């Protein structure tokens, strides 16, 4: 679970990583959704622990990239 200052930001982050909800290999399930100001992600795997760890790592990298992009866009709009 990740928490943001407002629902708009949480929605933007959830939408940025939501394509992961559909593009997964067999045996891997990932779903991200926004609930209020929180972004919740459920990950299930029938494979190895390494697959689970790599999936979490990839998800967090994507979230970090989305946060940085949102920060840059917001900063540019406030100029």
Phi and psi, residue 43, nearest 5°: -125, 130
pLDDT one digit per residue (tens) for the chain, 79 residues: 999 999 999 999 999 998 756 677 888 888 999 999 999 999 999 988 998 999 899 999 999 999 999 999 988 988 8
pLDDT at 14: 96
Could you tell me if 30 and 55 are in contact, meaning their C-beta atoms sit under 8 angstroms apart?
A: yes
**Is the CATH code 3.40.50.720 the one for domain 2-77?**
no
């Amino acid at each position: 679970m990740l928490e943001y200052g407002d629902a708009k930001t949480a929605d933007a982050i959830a939408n940025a990583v939501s394509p992961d909800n559909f593009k997964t290999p067999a045996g891997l399930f990932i779903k991200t959704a926004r609930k209020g100001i929180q972004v919740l992600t459920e990950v299930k795997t029938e494979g190895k622990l390494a697959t689970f760890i790599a999936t979490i790592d990839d998800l967090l990298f994507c979230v970090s990239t989305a946060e940085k992009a949102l920060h840059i866009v917001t900063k540019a709009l406030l100029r």
